Structure 1
């Protein structure tokens, strides 16, 4: 089993599982069915932004937001990014996706006290202050619905809910792959009802089952772990896959490693960035050749 390698204060690397386990789980899963006033008018029912497969992006969750990148989409932290900052990006022609954790509680978030004791399970390994959530809980779903409402109020164009593959972890709960599918579909439905696009974060074993419900995918390190081929289910349907890689050999282009990475990314039609582990905007290399 590949273990999580890092986490900044607002995000984490998801645990990887063996290929054999993923295949078995995928087969089992496929059987299952505070930000101020809102100056953004509600779109008509069923209408929301849908990014194209070639949408360029920047991902920054910590540090002073660097807004000068010539990209179509920014992915930023929901809680830490102000409505004014979101509006500023949009006035420059950017779409804005807002990140939050949907599968874990984080004791530094403003709404943390709303989680009940029964909602919270085991701590996330190596990630102080975070505990897995019971995705079957009606209270957890209410809180996530409120977070989606916050994203709408702040003017986000879309959302990136994280930690949506808890069924592959020792959460302290007995929920199943089907429970995870139900929860992830719930998030997608609630986002779309609010006119928000939504991305599927990792959860590679359930890509095929969830692709019809999600507008794009966000992945970490699929090149490093040789998992990018699974995302053809998104790209073949015209949905972008936003990928981040962190290895030093990619950053430094050691032995042409980044050149090879980008050749593979372009061949697979993936939007691959090489970024710092902290996602703090300190450097960025794009396989789409945008600065």
Structure 2
């Protein structure tokens, strides 16, 4: 009987379909960063980034935005039900990224990282079911805003769990910001660099990922600078900071 059970388990494992290999970012095309809401996709754009709650753009390589390290401002009801997974200060108050009104997630212990990876993993699997090709996990660098409560090592350990979830779903995984860090060691396949021209960080990403870097600039002079230095190799877009559907949109 024990041998029969072992054989059945082995056959089940062999029959389970393997996840598809993630598809790399296409090159020689432009990117549009549409987190503020879906918009018309120009013919020159082959890569579109949209929120996980939106529908992928037909005919494009679609990147699903997931806030993996902080909460979305409109999701506080959900996180109040999971209050033990929200980072809190010594007085029990949620630690907040004040610029965006987002609470930081508590990734300090292996148990909490595993719980959070299950939550974010479900969102990631949803991206794959909806037809996205990749996922970008935002706020990888939130530990620098944690008032010293979270370390970079803890962020890296959690990132490994998220990239594994992405790959299990057949999606490429995108590192968001944290210039100068080799995210490939945590399983990332490409990078999304905000304002790397403004802060002279673009080379820090291309040194790691080559042409697998998407660049978003929010000021015209930074956009012009980035286009001059990297526009022949990378997809670079100028957007308004609120990323509104009818807002600023320029390509190199």
If the TM-score is normalised by the length of the shorter chain, which range does it land in? Answer: 0.7 to 0.9
Task: Give, in whole Å, the separation in 1 of the partners of 2:191 and 2:184.
Answer: 10
What's the counterpart of residue 178 of structure 1? 153
1:55 Cα deviation from its structure 2 partner: 4.4
Task: Give, in whole Å, the separation in 2 of the partners of 1:117 and 1:134.
Answer: 8
TM-score scaled by structure 2?
A: 0.79
What's the counterpart of residue 245 of structure 1? 217
What's the counterpart of residue 60 of structure 2? 94
TM-score scaled by structure 1?
A: 0.69
Aligned runs of 1:59-98 on 2, under 5 Å?
A: 59-79=33-53, 81=54, 85-86=55-56, 89-90=57-58, 93-98=59-64
1:120 Cα deviation from its structure 2 partner: 3.0
Work out whether residues 29 and 46 of structure 2, in 8 Å CA contact, stay in contact via their aligned partners in 1: yes
Q: Answer with 1 or 2: which has the greater Rg.
A: 2
CA RMSD of aligned residues (A): 2.5
Going from structure 1 to structure 2, the CA distance change for 1:64 and 1:106 (only over 3 Å counts) comes to closer
Is 1:116 matched up with 2:91? Answer: no
Partner SS for 2:39: coil
What's the counterpart of residue 92 of structure 2? none
Q: Deviations over 1:233-288 (max 9, x none)?
A: 3343xx5110111114457xxxxxx2x44121236x2221111111113221111x
Aligned runs of 1:1-291 on 2, under 5 Å?
A: 44-45=18-19, 47-79=21-53, 81=54, 85-86=55-56, 89-90=57-58, 93-109=59-75, 111-121=78-88, 122-128=95-101, 130-135=102-107, 136=109, 137=112, 138-171=114-147, 173=149, 175-206=150-181, 208-210=182-184, 213-236=187-210, 239-249=211-221, 258=224, 260-266=225-231, 269-281=233-245, 282-287=247-252
Task: Give, in whole Å, the separation in 1 of the partners of 2:129 and 2:85.
Answer: 29
Partner SS for 1:183: helix
What's the counterpart of residue 3 of structure 1? none
Q: Deviations over 1:6-41 (max 9, x none)?
A: xxxxxxxxxxxxxxxxxxxxxxxxxxxxxxxxxxxx
* Runs of 4+ deviating beyond 4 Å: none
Task: Number of aligned residue pairs: give it.
Answer: 225
Q: Flag structure 2 segments of 5+ consecutive residues without an equivalent.
A: 1-15, 89-94
Task: Give, in whole Å, the separation in 1 of the partners of 2:175 and 2:70.
Answer: 16
Task: Give, in whole Å, the separation in 1 of the partners of 2:28 and 2:212.
Answer: 7
